[in-house]
Amino acid sequence: MLRLTIETVLGWIDQHPEASIYSVSQNDSEGWCECDNCRKVEEEEGGAHSGPILRFVNAVAAEVSKKHPEKLIDTLAYWYSEAPPLKARPLPNVRIRLCPIGVCEAHAYEKCPNDAYFLKNLRDWSRITNQLYIWHYNTNFAHYLLPFPDFDELAADIIMYQKHGVVGLFLEGDSAEGGGAENSELRSFVMARLLWNANVDVNATINEFMNAYYGKAAKAMRAYFDLLHRQVRPAPQGRGHHMWIYTHPGASYLSEDFLAQAMKFFREAQAAAGDEATRARVRKARLSIDYVNLVHARAFAVRDGTYAPANLDQLKGDFQSFMKDVRSFGITELHEGRKLAEDEEQFAKVVKPYGVVTMENPEVRVDVVPELSGRVIHMIDKATGRDVLRHPDAGEWSYPDAGGLSVAVYSDYFAAGSYKADWALASQSGTRELVLAGACPNGLKVWYRIQLQADGPALRTETHLENAGAAALDVVIQSRCEADLRTPDLAAVVFRSGAGRPIDKKLIQPEQAPTGSATYDGPARPDGEWKLVGAGSGLVLVNRFLVDEVSRSFVEWTGKTGSSVAMGLWSARRSLAPGGVLTLEASYEIKRER
């Protein structure tokens, strides 16, 4: 692998001798190597995933320097590799490009508690290299049009980077053909000024742009801009909400009162605009508010045995009108890497009514939507009216097939996606038991039995997987339960490991990213029971399982907008011969916190 990479980089240099920097970096998102050699290196490097990466990049850079001492090798400190290694140090021709992908973008990093982990990484990298670069984000990649009030943060952090010795800065926004991200014209103008002079008067720069770009409508547009930024500015100047680059439209700073006031300012701007060109600019800027309103209207709810948006016919018409407006401005993407046609196809496919099956006993009510992957969408404690399960945001790509309690079949523990399956209600016995059937194109068949005990808040599930196809298939069953986190700083998973060790894992830790995951296998796996406490609902979620059926368990969490936690079980991984079967049983019980 090393020799191949060296030859590849040398080939790039031959093909593009005009370039001065060549990137040798990890893949996007998670997925670090878990082989024994890399794990050994990580242990030597203080547990940092960046250790094996930097050693590899240094080896490449050392060979490149023999023929091309003037060329630089760039590598990302990104996602799982943001924290620097304990021992390895970048060679002189290696440039570390640190990527603050997990930070709150509403506030100056030095003043936001959510960003303490990144400042630690920044300081630690700056101690071991004097050639630190930054890859900085300035849009919402999940929703390009979402209001993104980051101008205070930009003004503060470009100066902050200089203070920490950063020598290279790349600002990434919406790179799709046609652009169109929220406030992109103003943001580009301000960023250009800041990169030329980090101490420029940003407020005056904003006024300069607005007066030139919006003319007579500038006063109302500036009023909207200030309203938006007051949603995130710390008290007493604002409401202090947080915001990330993958925040969804249900975020707290996009409240209904904010949206109503924003529309008032846009109507004023439209009326004040002195010509058609200016009216078009105002209209384009208003797309961000129209988008949030549209997604809010897409929210599903259970009504009379149906799971659907409140006014489906109006929503369909509003969606078509909105997409027409978007295209009129040359915009080609609303989300990173997805064309408008994909949004239209997804909307037509999933925005429709779904049948709901309700199960209940004196203590709990459970709502199941068979067509949505057999998903349990509500598990409500009747005494408190509280739901222990996560309610997904209507802006999530897989919505409404998201959140709650579900089961899926994968090829292995690391597969990017599960086997596709069509689900339907197979049978129902009264109000306390049902069986769902899932059929995969490859011949796999799944029976998912859900039973509610007669007089307690506990749900038992049994997944029975059969290979009805003609060829052996690699399979593993996952049972996944997601809960909302109303108090992320208090949430913890508690269990006794198979080795007898008591575990009380607090999910959000000081100076660590407010998101993460942990996998437990072998003797570290729970001994048949684990529970989620401190989530803020006043309820404890207890998950029990048969140890012999479960190969590993995992927990994933985020304390960002839409705070949530997922607790998951994996069956053993099998090569399932034709006619072969695999089962996984699990129960989920609600208890009230004391």
Short-list 8, 33, 34, CA closest to 22:
8
Cα separation of 413 and 107, whole Å?
37
Residue 268 lies in a domain: no
Model confidence pLDDT, tens digit, residues 512-550: 889 999 999 999 999 999 999 999 999 999 999 999 999
Residue where the block lists tokens 């003004």: 155
Model confidence pLDDT, tens digit, residues 367-404: 999 999 999 999 999 999 999 999 999 999 999 999 99
Residue 326 lies in a domain: no
Residue 234 CB contacts under 8 Å (≥ 6 apart), including other chains: 107, 111, 240
Please say whether the beta carbons of 242 and 561 come within 8 A: yes
Please say whether the beta carbons of 105 and 150 come within 8 A: yes
Please say whether the beta carbons of 25 and 75 come within 8 A: yes
Q: Domain containing 587 — which CATH number?
A: 2.70.98.10
Supply the DSSP symbol for 441.
Answer: T
Residue 494 CB contacts under 8 Å (≥ 6 apart), including other chains: 503, 504, 505, 530, 531, 533
Choose the final residue of a domain: 167, 199, 231. Answer: 199
3-state secondary structure of 227: helix
Residue 455: the pLDDT is 85
Residue 18 CB contacts under 8 Å (≥ 6 apart), including other chains: none
Choose the final residue of a domain: 199, 234, 255. Answer: 199
Determine the structural domain holding residue 56 and report its residue range: 2-199
Is residue 195's pLDDT more than 80? yes
Residue 384 lies in a domain: yes
How much is the CA Rg of the chain, to the nearest whole Å?
Answer: 26
3-state secondary structure of 224: helix
Q: Tell me the whole-structure pTM to 2 decimals.
A: 0.95
Residue 188: the pLDDT is 97
3-state secondary structure of 558: strand
Please say whether the beta carbons of 268 and 224 come within 8 A: no
Please say whether the beta carbons of 48 and 85 come within 8 A: yes
Using DSSP bridges, classify how beta strands 473-484 and 458-467 pair: parallel, antiparallel or unpaired.
unpaired
Number of domains in the chain: 2
- What percent of the chain shows pLDDT beyond 90? 94
Count of Cβ atoms closer than 10 Å to residue 394 Cβ? 20
Torsion of CA 539, 545, 551, 557, to 10 degrees: -10
Model confidence pLDDT, tens digit, residues 115-157: 999 999 999 999 999 999 999 999 999 999 999 999 999 999 9
Read off φ and ψ for residue 409, nearest 5 degrees.
-115, 130
What stretches of 468-538 adopt beta strand conformation (E)?
A: 473-484, 492-497, 502-506, 515-521, 526-533
Model confidence pLDDT, tens digit, residues 430-464: 999 999 999 999 999 999 999 998 888 999 999 99
Model confidence pLDDT, tens digit, residues 235-271: 999 999 999 999 999 999 999 999 999 999 999 999 9
Cα separation of 44 and 38, whole Å?
10
Cα separation of 187 and 105, whole Å?
14
Chain-centroid distance, C-alpha 108: 21
Residue 557 lies in a domain: yes
Residue 409 lies in a domain: yes
Residue 13 CB contacts under 8 Å (≥ 6 apart), including other chains: 19, 22, 64, 67, 68, 71
Strand partners, 465: 446, 582
**Mean pLDDT over residues 54-81, rounded?**
97
Q: H or E stretch including 261?
A: helix 256-272
Please say whether the beta carbons of 295 and 249 come within 8 A: yes
Residue 243 lies in a domain: no
Q: What is the 3-state secondary structure (H, E, C) of 281-299?
A: HHHHHHHHHHHHHHHHHCC
Strand partners, 107: none
Residue 262 lies in a domain: no
Choose the final residue of a domain: 199, 224, 259. Answer: 199
What would the two tokens of residue 405 be? 């309690």
Residue 161 lies in a domain: yes
Cα separation of 442 and 422, whole Å?
12
